[in-house]
Amino acid sequence: ATPPDAALALAARAEAVLQRPLEIDLALDGAGAPSLIGARPLRLSTRALMRAAARMVADGGLTRDAALMMIEPQAVEELLHPSIDPDAERDVLASGVPASPGAAAGRLCLTAEAAEDCARSGEPAILARFETSPEDVHGMHAAAGVLTLRGGLTSHAAVVARGLGVPCVVGATEARIELIDGAPEEGALVTPDGRRIAPGDWITLDGSAGEALAGALLTRSAPPSGDFATLMGWADARRRLRVRANADTPGELATAVRLGVDGVGLCRTEHMFFDPERITAMREMILADSLDARRAVLERLLPMQRGDFLQIFEIMDGAGPPDGDAPPVTIRLLDPPLHEFLPQEAAGVAALADALGQPVESVRKRARELREFNPMLGKRGCRLGIAYPEIYEMQARAIFEAALDAEARTGRPPHPEIMIPLVSAVSELQLLEGRIAAVAKAVEAERGARVEYGVGIMVETPRAALLADQLAPLSTFFSFGTNDLTQMTYGLSRDDAGKLMRDYVEAEVFEADPFQTLDREGVGALIQLGVERGRAHNPRLDIGLCGEHGASPSTVAFCAEAGFDYVSCSPYRAPIARLAAAQAAIAMDRAAAADAADE
Amino acid sequence: ATPPDAALALAARAEAVLQRPLEIDLALDGAGAPSLIGARPLRLSTRALMRAAARMVADGGLTRDAALMMIEPQAVEELLHPSIDPDAERDVLASGVPASPGAAAGRLCLTAEAAEDCARSGEPAILARFETSPEDVHGMHAAAGVLTLRGGLTSHAAVVARGLGVPCVVGATEARIELIDGAPEEGALVTPDGRRIAPGDWITLDGSAGEALAGALLTRSAPPSGDFATLMGWADARRRLRVRANADTPGELATAVRLGVDGVGLCRTEHMFFDPERITAMREMILADSLDARRAVLERLLPMQRGDFLQIFEIMDGAGPPDGDAPPVTIRLLDPPLHEFLPQEAAGVAALADALGQPVESVRKRARELREFNPMLGKRGCRLGIAYPEIYEMQARAIFEAALDAEARTGRPPHPEIMIPLVSAVSELQLLEGRIAAVAKAVEAERGARVEYGVGIMVETPRAALLADQLAPLSTFFSFGTNDLTQMTYGLSRDDAGKLMRDYVEAEVFEADPFQTLDREGVGALIQLGVERGRAHNPRLDIGLCGEHGASPSTVAFCAEAGFDYVSCSPYRAPIARLAAAQAAIAMDRAAAADAADE
C-alpha cells in the first residue's frame, strides 16, 4: 500500500534535515497520521545514490553542494570501467581467485617485456605469468590485466594489480604456461582441457568472477547516465580546479573528451615511437654514429610526429567550446633513457643489426654503452634534449608545424604547451627554451604565420622544487610530476619497491603506499615550497599536477588547498577528479565561512 | 750583495702592511737609503709559502690569522702525497680523466685478485680495469693506484679511489685491456699506439695529470714539515668545526690519526665483509632460505665484526687525549643492496654454488631475484635492516661487545655512535632504535656492564631533511650524506653521470660538478632546512656532513655558516678540512666584526 501523503512529507523533511537519503521507520496512528520512529542512512549503489541525490535536489530537499558531498568520488569509477558483454558467450580458459575487480580484454603476453612491447604498439596486453615478482612490475604497469597460475589474494600479483587498479585473476592452478627461454612468442597458455592459447591471441579477464575467457568480450563502458551527467555538471560549475587528462594516443584522447576534461595535461611523446614501423627508425637514430646520420633519421620521423600532433590538436579543438580558445595540450618532450628503445634480447639485437645493415657486435656494443646502473637517475629527460639537440628540435618543429596545419583546418589556433621533463637546473631550461624559440622563429619564417605556444617544466626532481623561484619566471607553467618526485624524495624506486612496500605498509612503517596516496608531510611539503616560491616570482604561473596521484580525492584536496590551477589524470579517472575538486571547493568554502563566523 | 738593513726593514714593513710575502723592487740612493719602487705578491710553492708565513709570524710581521688565510687549503694535499720525479722522462701509455690526485708506481695488475696477490708479496700494484665494480674494492684497497678505461670523475673507481686517497685515472678510452678469462697473467694493457704492457711491468700513475706512464718514476712522499705542523696547530686552535675521518679499515684509521682528526665520522661496515674468507659467509647468509640458517651464519660473522670494531676502538683510544673522553666513532650499519655481495659472472656463481653445496640454478635464481632496476633507490640502507632484523642486531651486538672489550683493555669507554642509513620515515628510526636498545640491554645483562652509545641517522634522502623536525628528537646526531642527497635532489646517479657530467660542466649547464662542489642553491637549501628544523626540535643535536664534499673548502665554509658541528672526509684530506675550517672561522669573525662596526 502507498503510504499517505503526510508520511511521505515527513520522510522528505527528515531527509532534508539530515541532507541525505534515509531508510525511515514510520508509525501511522488510526487516523493515518505518521510519526517518525527511526531513520538510518540508506546504503545505495553509486548509481542509485546519484539518482536519489538528483531527485532530492529537484524536490528542493537538498542543496546541490550537499548532493555533491554525498557521493564518494572513488565510487564513480565503477560506473566508468568497461564490463563484459552480458550477452557474450563465456568460453572459460582458466578459473582462479578474483583478486582485483573489473574486466579487461587484450592480447596474451607471457613476459613483462612482451606486455610492454604490446602496450607500446598501442594494443592492450593481458600478462599471464606462473607468478609475478618485482621484475614483472614494469610489465604489470603496461598490462590491462594480469593472470597468474599461482598465489592467493595476498600474492605479489594480487597486491600490485589492486594497487594499479588493474583487473587480476590469481591462482589459476589448473592451467599451465609453456615458456621457451629467449622466445616468448613461441610459448602458450595451456588450458585445463589442453587447448593452447598462443601469445598475441585475444583473451578477456573477468577480475570480479576470477575467470579468463577466450576472445575480446568487452562492451564499452556504461554511458554516463542522466543523473551522472547532472551531478557532474553541478561539480563542474562548483569546482575551481581544472581537470586535464594524461593521454598519449587518439584513443585515450577520445575517452578523455567523452568523459569530460579541460584539456590535456600530459601527452607523453615516447609512446609515439613504439609503433613497429617507427621503432626501427628510432633505433637507427639512436645507433647513428654521426650528427648527420641522426639528423637524416629525424627527418623521416618528423612527418610521423607532426601527424600525431595534428590528430591530437584536431580532437582537442573539437572538444573545446566552439567560441573562445582551444583547450590546452601539454606535450612532454622525449623523456625515457634511450636504451629503453633498444631490444634487450640476443634475437632482437640480431634482427635489428640485420635491418640496419650493421654488424651485430656494434649494435650490441652501443646497447651496452647505453645501459645504466640507475636508469631512473640517468641520462633521460631534458638531459637527452641537451645532449642531442636535434631530437627536441625535431619535436618542437613537429609541434609548431602541426599547430599551423591544425589552425588551417579548424580555423582557430590550438594551444600547445611544451613541457620539459626532469629539469634540475635553471640553465637547462634557459638553453632548451632558447632552442625551442629558434625553431618557432624558423617555422614562422617558413610559413609566414605566427605560432602560439608556452614552455614550462615538469617539476619532478626535488631540486626543481627548491629552485622554483628561479625557474618560475622562465616558465608558463609548472606541472608537478609526483611519481618521480615521490621516488626521489624517498630515495625509493617504484619499480623496485614491490615486496618492500607491502612489508612496509603491513608493518605500518609507511601509513600508506606513497605511490598511491600522496605523502603530504614530505613530498607535499616540497610541492608547497615549490608553489610558494614559484608564485612569488611569477604570479601568472599555471600550476598543475600530473602524476598517478592526480585523481585521488585526497590529492585533489591537497592541490586545491595549495592553490593549484589543475590536476591531470588518466581519462577514466577524470570524473573522479572533477567530483573531488568540487568537494574540495565546497569544503574550503565551508571552512572559510566557519572561520568568518568565529571572528 | 746583501741589501742594507734599512732596505730589509722597509721590505718587512711592506709585507706586514700587505700581510703576505712580496717580491719587492727597491732603489738605494747614494747614501744606501732605500725607497720602494714596486711590489707584487710572491708566487711560491705551498711548502715555501708555509715557510714564509711561519717566518713572518715569528718576525711579528703577520698575525696567525693572516698566515692561515694565505694558504690555499687544496694546495696542502700536494704535501701529503708522493709525487713524480720532475726530471723523469714521461712516456705516456694512456691518458684519461684525473680522478684522484697524487702519484703512484707499481706493477700492472689486471684483476683485483692479482692486485691483492701483488700487494701481499710486498710490491705495489697498479690496478687497471675496464671499469670497477664493488667486487673490485678489495683489489682497490690493495692497490697503490687505479686506472680505468671507462667512466668519469664520479665513476665507481674515481669515488672509491678518492675515498682511499689512492691516485686514480679514469676514462682512458683510447687504451684497451686484453683479459683472458681465468688467466689474468696472460692479458695486457694495450696503448693507443699498439704497445702491449704485460701484467707485472712497472707503470706510474699521475693522478693529477690523468696519465699512465711507463716505468717507476716516483719520488718519496714528503713528510709533514715543521712549518706544516706549526700552521696546522694554529688552524686547530682557530677552527670551531671538528674534523673527522671517513675510515673503514685499521690502515685508513692509522693514516687519519697520523694526519690528525677529531674522531671517525663514517665507518662503513660493508667493506669489512669483502675479505675473501668473510665474503663466502656473507653470501651464505644472503642465500640462506630460512631465518635460522641466516642466524647461524650471522653467529659466525659476529666475532669477525666484533674484532673489527675492537681494533677500531683501540686505535681511536690511542689517538685521543690521554685524559677526557675517547674520540667518537660513527659506525654506519650495513647499507648496500645485498646483490652487491654476490658474484655476477657465471664462473663466480658456479664457484659459490660449489662452496655452499647448493645447486647452481638456485644461486643464480636468488641472485636474479635480488637484482634491481635502480639499486640506488632500492632495498638498501635501513630497508635491509627492517627486512632482516637479525643483520642489524648482529652488528649492534658486535659494536656493544667490542666497546666493552675495548674498555676492559684501555680503561676508558669508547664512544660509538650508531648511524642508520637511508632513513626516509620516522617510523624506520623508531623501529630500529628500539631493536638496538634491546640488544644493548641484552649485552648489558650478559656482561654486567653499561654500554654508552648514541643513535643517529644519515640524512641522505630529501624526505629525511624535510622531516628533520620529527627525526631530530629521536636522534643524537644527523650526518648529512651529501653524495646520495645530491643524487636524489638532482635525480642524477653518480655512477651514470660520467660523460653527461663532463658535457654539462663544459657547456656550463652546471657551474661545477655537484658531486665535487656542494650545490648550495639546491642541496644546500635542503640541508639548511634540515639543520634549522632539526635544531629547533633538538638543540643538542650533533650535526655533521660525511660525503665526498667533506674536505672541499667551499663546503667546509658552508657547514661552518650553517652551524654544523663537524665535517668528515677521507683521511688524506683531513688537513685540508682543518685549514678550511680555520679560514671559515676567521672569515666569519671578520664579517661579524665588520657588521658590528657598521652599526
Chain segment B350-387, per-residue pLDDT in tens: 888 998 888 998 888 888 888 888 989 999 999 999 99
- Do residue B491 and residue A374 have CB atoms under 8 angstroms apart? no
A vs B, Cβ pairs < 8 A, gives: 164
Which chain A residue's Cα is nearest to B462? A489
Chain B positions touching A372 (Cβ under 8 A) are: 493, 495-496
The C-alpha angle with vertex B376 and arms to B373 and B382, in degrees rounded to 5, equals: 115
Cell of A513: 603506499
Mutate to test the interface with A, among B149, B365, B379 (most CBs of A within 10 A): B379
- Bridge partners of B456, per DSSP, are B419
Beta strands in B270-403 (DSSP E): 328-332
Query: Which residue among B489, B496, B509 sits closest to A462, beta carbon to beta carbon?
Result: B489
Q: How many CB atoms lie within 10 A of CB B184?
A: 17
A342 backbone dihedrals φ, ψ, rounded to 5°: -95, 150
Q: How far apart are the C-alpha atoms of A412 and A5, rounded to whole Å?
A: 57
pLDDT digits (tens, 9 = 90+) for B519-536: 999 999 999 999 999 999
Element (H, E) at A24: strand A22-28
Burial class (CB in 10 A: 0-12, 13-18, 19+), B347: exposed
- Nearest of A144, A108, A114 to residue A128 by alpha carbon: A108
Query: Which residue among B374, B461, B462 sits closest to A495, beta carbon to beta carbon?
Result: B374
Give the residue ranges of DSSP H helices in A59-205.
64-70, 77-80, 112-120, 137-142, 156-164
Query: Which residue among A375, A463, A509 sits closest to B522, beta carbon to beta carbon?
Result: A463
- Residues of A with catalytic function: 156, 546
Cell of A567: 590536476
pLDDT, position B223: 52
B357 backbone dihedrals φ, ψ, rounded to 5°: 65, 30
Instruction: Grade residue B465 by pLDDT with cuts at 50, 70 and 90.
Output: very high
The alpha carbon torsion through B115, B117, B119, B121 (nearest 10 deg) reads -150
Q: How far apart are the C-alpha atoms of B530 and B76, rounded to whole Å?
A: 32
The alpha-carbon gap from B429 to the nearest alpha carbon of chain A, in Å, equals: 10
Is B156 a catalytic site residue? Answer: yes
**At residue B82, does pLDDT exceed 80?**
no
Query: Which residue among A373, A492, A495 sits closest to B424, beta carbon to beta carbon?
Result: A492
Q: Calculate the alpha carbon distances from B27 to B2, B21, B38, B43 in Å.
A: 14, 19, 10, 22
Q: With b meaning 16 or more CB within 10 Å and e meaning fewer, what string describes A307-327? A: ebbbebbbbbbebbeeeeebb
Q: With b meaning 16 or more CB within 10 Å and e meaning fewer, what string describes B272-281? A: bbbeeebbeb
Q: How far apart are the C-alpha atoms of B496 and B353, rounded to whole Å?
A: 31
Q: How far apart are the C-alpha atoms of B68 and B232, rounded to whole Å?
A: 9
pLDDT, position A2: 66
Q: Are strands B264-268 and B328-332 parallel, antiparallel or unpaired?
A: parallel
Chain A positions touching B488 (Cβ under 8 A) are: 377, 462, 488-489, 491
Contact predicate B119/B142, CB 8 Å: yes
The alpha-carbon gap from B296 to the nearest alpha carbon of chain A, in Å, equals: 24
pLDDT, position B245: 95
pLDDT, position A576: 92
- Do residue B495 and residue A525 have CB atoms under 8 angstroms apart? no
pLDDT digits (tens, 9 = 90+) for A493-502: 987 887 788 7
Mutate to test the interface with A, among B424, B510, B526 (most CBs of A within 10 A): B424
Q: How far apart are the C-alpha atoms of A492 and B2, rounded to whole Å?
A: 71
Answer whether 0.95 is exceeded by the pTM. no
Contact predicate B154/B495, CB 8 Å: yes
Query: Which residue among A377, A383, A387 sits closest to B374, beta carbon to beta carbon?
Result: A377
Contact predicate A268/A572, CB 8 Å: no
- Nearest of A491, A502, A487, A495 to residue A135 by alpha carbon: A495
- Do residue B496 and residue A431 have CB atoms under 8 angstroms apart? no
The alpha-carbon gap from A88 to the nearest alpha carbon of chain B, in Å, equals: 41
Coil vs helix vs strand at A107: strand
The sign of the CA dihedral A61, A65, A66, A68 is positive
Q: How far apart are the C-alpha atoms of B154 and A479, rounded to whole Å?
A: 31
- Please give the biggest Cα pair distance in chain B: 98
The alpha-carbon gap from B15 to the nearest alpha carbon of chain A, in Å, equals: 44
pLDDT, position B461: 98
Q: Are strands A454-459 and A477-480 parallel, antiparallel or unpaired?
A: parallel
- Do residue A377 and residue B507 have CB atoms under 8 angstroms apart? no
**At residue B224, does pLDDT exceed 70?**
no
pLDDT digits (tens, 9 = 90+) for B491-530: 999 878 877 887 888 888 998 889 888 999 999 999 999 9
Chain A positions touching B368 (Cβ under 8 A) are: 135
Q: From the candidates B109, B168, B382, B546, which is the catalytic residue?
A: B546
Q: How many CB atoms lie within 10 A of CB B403?
A: 26
Cell of B106: 707499481
Q: How far apart are the C-alpha atoms of A507 and B434, rounded to whole Å?
A: 15
Chain A positions touching B379 (Cβ under 8 A) are: 496, 500
- Please give the biggest Cα pair distance in chain A: 98
Least confident of A258-262, B331-335, B424-428: A258-262
The alpha-carbon gap from A545 to the nearest alpha carbon of chain B, in Å, equals: 18
Chain B positions touching A508 (Cβ under 8 A) are: 427
pLDDT, position A86: 81
- DSSP secondary structure string, B409-447? HHSS--EEEEEETT--SHHHHHHHHHHHHHHHHHHHHHH
Q: Calculate the alpha carbon distances from B538 to B472, B526, B531, B534 in Å.
A: 6, 18, 10, 6
- Nearest of B320, B370, B361, B364 to residue B340 by alpha carbon: B370
Q: How far apart are the C-alpha atoms of A544 and A542, rounded to whole Å?
A: 7
- Bridge partners of A190, per DSSP, are A176, A196
Q: How far apart are the C-alpha atoms of A48 and A231, rounded to whole Å?
A: 13
- Nearest of A199, A144, A200, A169 to residue A92 by alpha carbon: A169
- Do residue A495 and residue B431 have CB atoms under 8 angstroms apart? no
Contact predicate A90/A103, CB 8 Å: no
Instruction: Grade residue B220 by pLDDT with cuts at 50, 70 and 90.
Output: low
Chain B positions touching A522 (Cβ under 8 A) are: 424, 462-463, 466-467
pLDDT, position A186: 82
Which chain B residue's Cα is nearest to A495? B373
- Do residue A510 and residue B427 have CB atoms under 8 angstroms apart? yes
Return the amino acid letter for B149. L
pLDDT digits (tens, 9 = 90+) for A98-148: 888 788 999 999 999 899 889 888 789 999 999 887 678 778 888 999 999
- Do residue A496 and residue B428 have CB atoms under 8 angstroms apart? no
Cell of A253: 584522447
> Of B47 and A200, which is predicted with more confidence?
A200
pLDDT, position A303: 96
Q: How far apart are the C-alpha atoms of A281 and A265, rounded to whole Å?
A: 28
Q: From the candidates B141, B156, B415, B549, which is the catalytic residue?
A: B156
Which chain A residue's Cα is nearest to B432? A509
Coil vs helix vs strand at B212: strand
Which chain B residue's Cα is nearest to A468? B522
Burial class (CB in 10 A: 0-12, 13-18, 19+), B591: exposed
- Do residue A375 and residue B374 have CB atoms under 8 angstroms apart? yes
- Do residue A496 and residue B522 have CB atoms under 8 angstroms apart? no
Cell of B223: 713528510
Instruction: Grade residue B558 by pLDDT with cuts at 50, 70 and 90.
Output: very high
Q: How far apart are the C-alpha atoms of A407 and A409, rounded to whole Å?
A: 5
Place of cell 642527497: B485
pLDDT, position A163: 61
The alpha-carbon gap from A340 to the nearest alpha carbon of chain B, in Å, equals: 12
Q: How far apart are the first and last CA of chain A?
A: 53
Parts of chain A with a pLDDT under 50: none
Contact predicate B261/B239, CB 8 Å: no
Find the mean pLDDT for residues B457-472: 98
Cell of B66: 693572516
Which chain B residue's Cα is nearest to A485? B491
Q: How far apart are the C-alpha atoms of A414 and A402, rounded to whole Å?
A: 9
Element (H, E) at A296: helix A291-319
Indicate left, alpha or beta for A60 from its phi (over 0: left) and psi (-120 to 50: alpha).
Answer: left
- Do residue A425 and residue B510 have CB atoms under 8 angstroms apart? yes
- Nearest of A254, A392, A250, A226 to residue A309 by alpha carbon: A250
- Residues shown for chain B: 599
The alpha-carbon gap from A72 to the nearest alpha carbon of chain B, in Å, equals: 30
Contact predicate B546/B479, CB 8 Å: yes
pLDDT, position A222: 57
Element (H, E) at B457: strand B454-459
Cell of A553: 580525492
Q: What percent of chain B has pLDDT over 90?
A: 56
Instruction: Grade residue B225 by pLDDT with cuts at 50, 70 and 90.
Output: low
pLDDT, position A168: 93
Query: Which residue among B431, B500, B519 sits closest to A379, beta carbon to beta carbon?
Result: B500
Cell of B535: 635544531
pLDDT, position B591: 96
- Nearest of B40, B155, B47, B161 to residue B100 by alpha carbon: B161
- Do residue A526 and residue B488 have CB atoms under 8 angstroms apart? no
B37 backbone dihedrals φ, ψ, rounded to 5°: -100, -40
